[in-house]
Each structure stands twice: as structure tokens, then as C-alpha cells.
Chain A
Amino acid sequence: MIEVRELTKKFGDFTAVDNLSLRIETGEFFGLLGPNGAGKTTTISMLSTVLLPTSGGIFIDGKPLTRAASEQKRKLAVITQEYSMRQDMTMDEVMEYQGRLYFLPKKEIRSRTDELFEFAGLSDFHRRTVRHLSGGMKRKLMICRALLIKPEILLLDEPTAGMDALSRRQMWNLLRQVNDRDMTILLTTHYIEEAEALCDRVAMINRGRLQKLDTPRALIDELGRFTVEQTGEMSLTSRHFGSREEAIRYLETAGPDAALRATTLEDVFVECAGRKIT
């Protein structure tokens, strides 16, 4: 279980994360959503101890997470937004370095690496240096690196950024599989459909503050399950309704450019963030 208590991070006068409190249960797939600059990556960086909070704290299974807390850190693996790897190492070396940092026996590192590379379709490239890999391959390597240590908690910061649609779907399947093994997953993303497809609960943050926290279904229900979208010359406006009948009544008066559709988590997000995400 991850507990974030009144977490605040300031950079000079700028508050990137503002009094954020969350509780993520064991085995939960939790999404942290927000527009660019909302504080998602800063939160992940504090969870991975690269940044220290200005105030507040993070607790893993009730014990504080600090840079010296080896026992808590052993449970964690992070997949960062950037390709945070030695660019001059081969894929095998990246995996061996990771295994050694987590004190895995060499034999286990070797067998797990083979297994994960096979699973990710990277086996033919294991001697290739990181700087010579494509973006998608680097992303897969980061996932293999994180899974090598069989973490209890996986922190994913925009894991599908820059991936094509097919690779993204493959990644979703992979994440579902690892979550099925009782791994707690914290995912940050600005692909709302990704959170909707994967997450048990989502927290929406904007300007470092928690705006909403619930299951995707409950958040959609709260806004209204039906949306009438009206396209103007320069704008797109949406109105949300709790029942189909209400939505249809409105649609009949709204003119030819209006359309009825189901509300999505993206609508909730747009309402919450006050701007469309790209």
C-alpha cells in the first residue's frame, strides 16, 4: 500500500505539488491524470526519491519512504518518462546493472533477462547499445528492466508517450497482465483513454492540487453519462446529462451541428482541468 500524506513540493516560489494526499491499495491500478505541468512527474520523482518533498511524506506499507529506506525501495520499480538509462551500455548490461543494484543472483538475472527479452521481442538485439535502439525499443527495455526485479509496486510515468497505437495496445495488455499478479501500479498519463481502459481508480490533479478522486465510472456518472457535443464555427461545446431522455430533449433544441454520445473520462478531465488535453 502506498500512502501519500500532505505532499508538497516547491521550486522557489513555484508550487509543483500542493498538499497532495492519496492512498493506493495493494494490487490497485491507480491513475494520476493531469495536463502538462500538473505535477505528475514531480510526484513520481518524489515517489522514486529523486526529489525530496518540501513537506509531507510518502509511506510504503506504513513505513516512511526515504533515500535510506532500502527495505521500501526494494519493493519499487520506476519507468520514467525519459529513457533514464546509460546510453553506452548494451541491453544485457542495462539488465545486469539493474539486477546487481537489487542484489539479484547473476543466474537469476540471466534467466529473467532472457525470459523478459523473449516476451518483449527484444531477444535479437540484446547486444545492441542503448543509443542505437529506437524509441519503442528503449521503452520496452525500460519495462523489462523494471520487471526484472519482480517489484511489488510499479510506478509508470507516461509509459506510452511516443508509442504508436499498436505498441500502446500491447503495452496495455502487458500492464494488465502484471497487475493481475497483484502488483500495485501507479500510472501517470495524459492519454485519458489509457487511464479509462486500465485504472481501477483515478486521481485528477491540476496545478499540483488534487481535483477529483474516484473510479472512472463514478467520475463519469457524477458528470452525467450522456454528452451532447455542439460544433460551432470556432468552438466545440459540451453539455452533460444524467439520462438519455434529458440529453435527447436538449439535442432536439440544439440544432444540426449537435451530436449525442456517451460521456468519457476525457470529458470529466476537461471539466476538471478547464482545458482540452492533447
Chain B
Amino acid sequence: MGIITVLWEKWVEFRRDFYKITVAAMISPLMYLIVFGLGIRTTSHGQPYIFFLVPGLVAMVTMTGSFSAIAQNMSVQRLYEKALDQVMVSPTPLWQFILGQVIGGSLRGMYAAAVILILTIPVRYNLIFNGLSFLIMLLNGMVFATLALVLSFLSKTYSDAPRFNTYIIMPMSFLCNTFFSTEEMPDGFRQIIEILPLSQASAMIRSISYGESPDLTGIVILLAYLVILGGISVFFIYKKKNL
């Protein structure tokens, strides 16, 4: 029930800011597509580079869409509007509030991915996106929505949200199997990057899009991130002394 309330709140927000959300979801991936996919024409693994790029971009927008939907919003609600107080004092179980935020954030990431999938129809020819791809996108979005919650609870000012974006999301966007394969990275660094959730999501979505079987240990890794980050955010909302 509490989950539905949060999803209703997210729907109100989405409905009101539909155009802003849609344009924001399009701009940066579209730029990457134009610059790296169409402007600089290269090949990767014997195929046009855009075939490598599109699955990576789809994974990336599920991350950025989910993360930004929660990080900015929760920081403002908690620190500036104090609207989180309304939730804290209500009888809605707080774990349901967290789960609602995670699902709502992930759906925003899915929406951003859907926008990119529609935009790239003319250039992605026979790349495959099936039910499993969408499940991975959903899971990836949930991981980053939960990360956004944890970071929002740690924020001291609402200007911290853009900082987290710069320190965490931007480096991941570029390094985690999005624009180039992690195979090309030096040992040691490669292993660290490969264990990150976006690397796993990109690799699995890319394998599916090529018609190959994905390495499903990636799903286990994403689930592990989700459980750990979810546990931390639930701990914070129940036990953090000064929320």
C-alpha cells in the first residue's frame, strides 16, 4: 500500500514534468550517439561502432535516469522542502517508502531507456532487446535508485546531489563498458571496473543484443548490490539519528 502511494507521487511528478523529463532523457545520449556513433565512424569487433554503443547507452541511461530521479528529488525533499518529515511521521512503513522509491526510480530509468530505444530504431538494425534485456535494465535502475537513496541520506546540503553525479555517475558512464570494452583496460584497474554494476548491465545487455547468451552471474552481482544498498538505505531510514 505504501509502495503504491510512493508510485502515485512519482506518477504525479512524471505527469507534471513529462516534457522536461523526456527532453533530459534524450539530450546527452543523443549527443553521444551523434558524436561517437555517427560523427566518428569506427568499427568495434568487426562491426559498426554504433552496434557496440547502443546497448551501452541503453544501460547507461537506465543508470542516469534512475539515479537522477531519486538523488535530486530526495535531497531537496529531505534538506530543503522538509517534505520527508511528512512521510517520517506517517504510519506508512518506511521500508515500503524505500521500496516505492526504488521501483519508481527504476521505472524512470526504464522510461529513459525506452526513449533511447525508440530514437535509435533507424540505426540499430538487428540488435535484439528482449524481456531479459528489460529485466536487466530494471535491475540496473533499481541498483542506482537505491544508491541515490543512500547518498541522499548522507547529503548535508542539497547541492551535494550534483557532486555525487560528478564523482560517481559520470566516471561510471564513461568507464563501465559503455563506450569501449573493459577488455582494453590494464589489469587491476579492469577487474575493479568490471565488478561495477553498470559494467555488468552493459555487458549483459550487449550480449543479448548480439544474439549471444549473457553471463548471468551479472544478475547475481546486480542483486548483491541491490541487497547491500537496500539494506543500508533501510538501516538509515529507521536508525539514522538525524534524518
Contacts and interface: CB of A to CB of B under 8 A. Distances in A.
Interface stretch (A85-93, A197-205, A216-224, A237-245): A85-93
A68 B88 contact: no
A84 interface: yes
A14 interface: no
A13 B12 CA distance: 43
Interface stretch (A43-51, A164-172, A259-267): A43-51
A103 B1 contact: yes
A100 B8 contact: yes
Nearest to B77: A86
Contact of A101 (B81, B82, B87, B243): B87
Interface in A77-98: 77-78, 80, 82-89, 93, 96-98
Interface residues of A, number: 34
Nearest to A48: B89
B122 to A, nearest CB: 36
B178 to A, nearest CB: 32
Contact of A73 (B9, B16, B91, B240): B91
Chain B at the A interface: SS class: helix
B126 interface: no
Contacts of B83: 84-86
Size category of the binding interface on chain B: 20 to 34
Contacts, number: 84
A52 B241 contact: yes
Nearest to B242: A51
B86 A84 contact: yes
A80 B239 contact: no
Contacts of B77: 86
Given A82-B82, A84-B81, A50 B89 contact: yes
A80 to B, nearest CB: 6
User: What 6 pairs across the A-B complex have the smallest Cβ distances?
Assistant: A84-B82, A101-B90, A70-B91, A100-B5, A74-B91, A48-B89
